[in-house]
Structure 1
Amino acid sequence: MKASIVAAAAAMVAGANARAHGHRHAHRMLEKRDAETCGCTTVYSTIYGTDFTIIPAATSAFNPVAVPEPTGAVEVPTPIAQICPTPGTYTFPATTVVVTETTTVCAPSFTEVPSGTHTLGGVTTVVTTATTVVCPVATTETQDGTVTSVIKTTTFVCPEAGTYTIAPITTVVPTPTTVVVPVVTTICPGTYTAPEITTTVTATNTVIYCPFTSVGAPEPTAEPTSAPQPPAEEPAKEPVKEQTPPSLGGGQRWAMTYTPFREDGTCKTASEVNTDVAAIASAGFSTLRVYSTDCDTLPNVGAACRTYGLRLIVGVFIGSPGCENGNPTVTAQIDALKNWDGWDLVDLVVVGNEALFNGFCNVSQLTSLIERTKSELSGVGYTGPYTTTDVVSAWENNDVSSLCSVIDVVACNAHAYFNAGTRPADAGKFVRGQLSIVESICNKPGYILETGWPTAGKCYGVACPGVEEQAEAIHSIEAEIGSKSVFFSFRNDPWKQPGECGCERNWGCAQVFGV
């Protein structure tokens, strides 16, 4: 992985997006969230602003510093930056770190960005009256040519009610680049291991990051009773190719959600589906996301995607009565997937859509269901990635460590409309910030599997629906993070209830893309 180390401020967000989708929607306003302690990881995640610095990869390193005011070096399991100055084959030994007490550090978070101007960092907060905000900010200090990430406390005076971004920064990159952003992270007690890796690099000043994984609670240590013996020599190992995340996303118009329902909620015919998919393909999208297997979704949408050269994200939808393995609706969907022969079209399987937020599953149940789905679909030829998707608050407010261990990529649904402090023009920055949060929680590459803006409904603060507002918001998202976002949705859904927001029927956005 070729990387540029980016000095960026990371921050505590004043709220978490929360909403639900399936064949019905239920939305909730952005909620204030408080930092959590161990039991689950606390992450003050990155959002986006202005002013920015790039530090050359070959002279940069992350040296995490515990806060407040550490009295000595603290060894923590943050990804190790291994610098490869010249082309060649490198072997990095396994490393184990035992954490015995809760430690707050600057940990690196990785984000791939295309060429151009990008905004990163900053603390965004919404206040209802004049107040002074005190919050931790991840920043960097340079000494003797080495860049060290540190956490500092900043004080910001909000003179009146409104939305404020504190300490934002910006950058311009000439080519597609993996940037590394320091993020304020709490490490809980446990034993963490980075496995040995052998990799071949072909470019100069390449930086390889070796992440740690948790392998259990720390074991008690004892003083050795004799001098340690040198390790036995091991036979030479074959070089192992560097592991890369699943190849998903791409282009500013990656994917669109699609449900094969008519305006009255009945199922569309194969011919009607074909017409819809042709229109989506003509707008420049490469992928469709479907939620379940009802209405002959797999054969009809699959055939249309094959005709027009589109890829598929398929799903197992979870509603009432929940996601226990005995749920006949879930079983029927898994069986339909097993009996389908279109796996060469599929880039991702999504088990559950906001199932945690809606209370249809707990983390243990959802983890078990994903494991079951993986086991059953592996027997019919699917070898690609799996995930689940939920609102950011569901990822934050649960101990999702077991869930992170069974998914290949992390995903969230993010709708800036439900954040009262976000105008349509800033929707893209909000959505990118939401994705950064969940990527930090699971330390995996992430994707937005639902995002959009309604054309009708009520206003939430400065976030108002409308045709012009929708176009402005979607173009903002497309420009900021379109390559990792699934737009919601193709057409309006008059068959849905309007909901408390009055907006549930009005998310169709095909016209924004000229279809």
Structure 2
Amino acid sequence: MKATLAVAAAAALAGGVNAGSVHHRHAHNAVRVALEKKDYNNETCGCTTIYKTFYGEPTLLFPPVPATTAAPPPPPVTTATETAVVVPTPIAQTCSTTGVYTFPPHTVTLTESTTVLVPSTTAVPSGSHVIGGVTTIVTTATTITCPYATVSTSEGVVTSVVATTTYVCPSAGTYTIAPTTTSVDKSTVLTVPVVTEYPPGTYTQPEVVTTVTETNTVIFCPFDIPTPTAKTTPHVLTYPAETPKTTAVIVPTAPSYPDAPSSLKAPNTPAVPTSPTSPSKPKATGSLGGEPGKPWGISYTPYGTGEDGGCKTREEVDKDIAAIASAGVKTVRVYSTDCDTLPNVGDAVRKYGLRIILGVFIDAPGCTARNPSVAEQIGAIKSWAQWDIVDLISIGNEAVFHGYCEPSQLAGLINQCKGEFSGYTGRYTTAETINIWQQPNFSSAVCGVVDVAGANAHAYFNTETDASQAGQFVKGQLDLVSSICGNGNVPGIILETGWPSAGNAMGLAVPGESQQRIAVSSIVKECGDRAVMFSLTNDKWKDPNTACACEQNFGLAKVLGINI
């Protein structure tokens, strides 16, 4: 899934033993949202009593201070009604210049349940799209009454609000209720509000010290979510007791923000029924890894190679996967489910006798199945459920590195996915850089819930490593991650590694076509049987203006002899 929001919750790596990331995110203008308090104890799931509406940002915002300067007391943000609203959504900070920033710690205490609309972003290609609404699975004919995000316009002012809708589900199945239709003439980033409830409790945002290497970078400082108790149940929107049991996920509708397409229409369309969940498939029979000295896997995204990054057709995907198989690569890693990844890539993988690594991508704060993007991906994987060709499922790709998840949240999401993917008895992992795996709070939370320790390791981001040493570096990263969870009970694997064919030099690491060939040959020789190469093609839709100027140039098809 193409990420569209910039964050960095930890210092970017410039050297040492840890590889940096090639998944930089870049910020968009903040959107204007409305905050609402609601009572969720009424008999119709609590979506009708609005106590008050406030206008302004959904969080307190505090300016960063230099690392050597004492932090001043944090001033509250005053809304248009002179009422300060405090909720523990991640605090967005804009760093206009490069340097070391310190963001002071904050504590937020809620004395009652508070519901807000938190802005989220999603990238869509050109064309018409049905988005938003409420996706729910019912086991029998029933009536669903539930909240969803929409907009209200008064005197030319567009306000995000929470509304309710009631729909009669005529039979068992999966339904999307009150979706929104939008048409765009080019690849576009839509900003949409997400219904989020915070229960009573004390939320803490620890001090964050980070090094910013690019101007106008947005840092998100997330709050730790309290452990649920009998009196604290986080983020759950409850349906009436008399309603048959359902699995409901709130997916936001898209408001007409100034930077959103004018073609967005109000959510007045009926529910869209889809097929019930497919039956479970047998356990994956393959084993992780390939033949020594040969490339085992390659990462793949079904996006076009042009600047718009539109979705590839089914025929184009089939051609790509056929070329991968012809080159002797055994496994394809995908990151998410957008662009019909599961039916198109999955069918081609089966057709050509390959294996697949699935992914649930987290590209914004909200590390739970209540995150609309995460919920959509989980639902798509459950419906697809072709487990017999799946070797591994990765929940998150550098989600902790980028500040979207706390380790405990990520562990909880992995466990939740295990419960959601009925019939899959294969392996689970997450992909992080080595420095994240080495943090005690991460390994202690995550080692117990994964079957494989997945690492993204890019020698190019180590300033002391030239192309000829790339294989030794990545093999060293593999050895490190293999030892983190103890006693070899959780083996390590490299889920992403490569070298750019163009960009800026990072110390001794110099990009270029000849350097890429040398580096990739070295990696394949040292640990290609336990590594997923990154990636099949160059990605011109990525931002070319990062510090390395390299993100568009990791395509390895020519180097690996893949004829596309």
Q: TM-score, normalised to structure 2's length?
A: 0.49
Which of the numbers 355, 358, 369 marks the counterpart of 1:314? 358
Does residue 16 of structure 1 match 2:18? yes
Tell me if structure 2 keeps the 8 A contact 1:20–1:358: no
1:427 aligns with 2:427: no
Matches within 5 A, 1:262-301: 262=304, 263=306, 264-301=308-345
Structure 1 residue matching 2:429: 3-state secondary structure: strand
2:483 aligned with 1:440: yes
Provide, for residues 81-140 of structure 1, a one-character-per-residue CA deviation record: whole Å limited to 9, x for no partner.
Answer: xxxxxxxxxxxxxxxxxxxxxxxxxxxxxxxxxxxxxxxxxxxxxxxxxxxxxxxxxxxx
1:162 alignment counterpart: none
Alpha-carbon separation, structure 2, partners of 1:442 and 1:359: 22
> 2:282: which partner in 1?
none
How many Å separate the matches in 1 of 2:393 and 2:439? 24
User: Is 1:402 paired with 2:438?
Assistant: no
Where 2:384 maps in the other structure, the secondary structure is coil
> Match for 2:456 among 406, 413, 424?
413
Rounded Cα–Cα distance in structure 2 between residues aligned with 1:308 and 1:15: 38
Identical pairs, percent: 53
How far did residue 478 of structure 1 move? Answer: 0.3
How many Å separate the matches in 1 of 2:551 and 2:535?
11
For residue 424 of structure 2, the aligned residue among 372, 377, 382 is 382
Q: Please name the residue that 1:302 is paired with.
A: 346
How far, CA to CA, are the matches of 1:413 and 1:18 in structure 2? Answer: 8
Tell me if the contact between 2:20 and 2:462 (Cα under 8 Å) persists in the aligned partners.
no
Cα drift, residue 397 of structure 1: 2.9
Match of 1:346 among 379, 384, 390: 390
Summarize deviations over 1:218-266 as a string: whole Å, max 9, x none.
xxxxxxxxxxxxxxxxxxxxxxxxxxx9821112221000000012211
1:250 paired to 2:250: no
CA distance in 2 between partners of 1:288 and 1:460 (Å): 29
Give the 3 Å change call, closer, same or farther, for CA 296–337 of structure 1 in structure 2: same
The amino acid of 1:393's aligned partner reads: N
Counterpart CA distance in 1 for 2:551 and 2:504 is 11
Q: Which runs of 5 or more residues in structure 1 are unaligned?
A: 1-12, 26-244
**What is the alpha-carbon distance in structure 1 between the residues aligned to residue 495 and residue 25 of structure 2?**
15
Letter matched to residue 259 of structure 1? T
The 2-side partners of 1:22 and 1:302 are apart by: 27
List gaps (5 residues or longer) in structure 2: 1-14, 28-284
Match for residue 505 of structure 1 among 534, 552, 557: 552
Deviations 1:298-333 (A, max 9, x none): 000011111111100000001113312320110110
Please give the alpha-carbon distance, in whole angstroms, between the structure 2 residues aligned to 1:425 and 1:358.
29
Q: Which residue of structure 1 lines up, in the alignment, with residue 433 of structure 2?
A: 391
Aligned residues: 282
Counterpart-to-counterpart distance in 1, 2:409 and 2:552 = 31
Residue equivalent to 1:66: none
Task: Tell me how far apart the structure 2 counterparts of residues 361 and 340 of structure 1 sit (CA, whole Å).
Answer: 26
CA contact (8 A) 2:483 2:492 kept: no
Amino acid in the other structure paired with 2:522 = S
Instruction: Specify the SS of the correspondent of 1:510.
Output: coil
Change (3 A) 1:327 1:316: same
Cα separation, 1, equivalents of 2:437 and 2:400: 8
Question: Deviations 1:51-98 (Å, cap 9, x if unpaired)?
Answer: xxxxxxxxxxxxxxxxxxxxxxxxxxxxxxxxxxxxxxxxxxxxxxxx
Give the C-alpha shift of residue 343 in structure 1. Answer: 1.4
Query: C-alpha separation between the residues in 2 aligned to 1:249 and 1:445?
Result: 11
Q: Secondary structure at the match of 1:339?
A: helix
Q: CA deviation at 1:23?
A: 8.6
Hey, what's the Cα distance between the residues in 2 that align with 1:23 and 1:333?
A: 20
Structure 1 equivalent of residue 522 of structure 2: 476
Aligned to 2:501: 455
Could you say what secondary structure the match of 1:17 adopts?
coil
Report if aligned partners of 1:363, 1:398 keep a CA contact under 8 Å in 2.
Answer: no
Deviation for aligned residue 1:20 = 4.5
Query: Is the 1:411–1:435 contact (alpha carbons within 8 Å) kept by the matching residues of 2?
Result: no
Answer whether contact 2:455 2:496 (CA < 8 A) is retained. Answer: yes
**Mapped partners of 2:350, 2:368: distance in 1:** 33
Question: Deviations 1:144-200 (Å, cap 9, x if unpaired)?
Answer: xxxxxxxxxxxxxxxxxxxxxxxxxxxxxxxxxxxxxxxxxxxxxxxxxxxxxxxxx
Q: Check whether the contact 2:22–2:551 (CA below 8 A) recurs between aligned residues.
A: no
**Cα deviation, residue 22, structure 1:** 8.2
Deviations 1:391-445 (A, max 9, x none): 1111123512120000001010000001111111110100011111111111221
Structure 2 CA distance for aligned equivalents of residues 506 and 414 of structure 1: 16
2:533 to 468, 487, 491: 487
Instruction: Please give the alpha-carbon distance, in whole angstroms, between the structure 1 residues aligned to 2:526 and 2:535.
Output: 18
Summarize deviations over 1:360-399 as a string: whole Å, max 9, x none. Answer: 001010000000001110x2x2110000010111112351
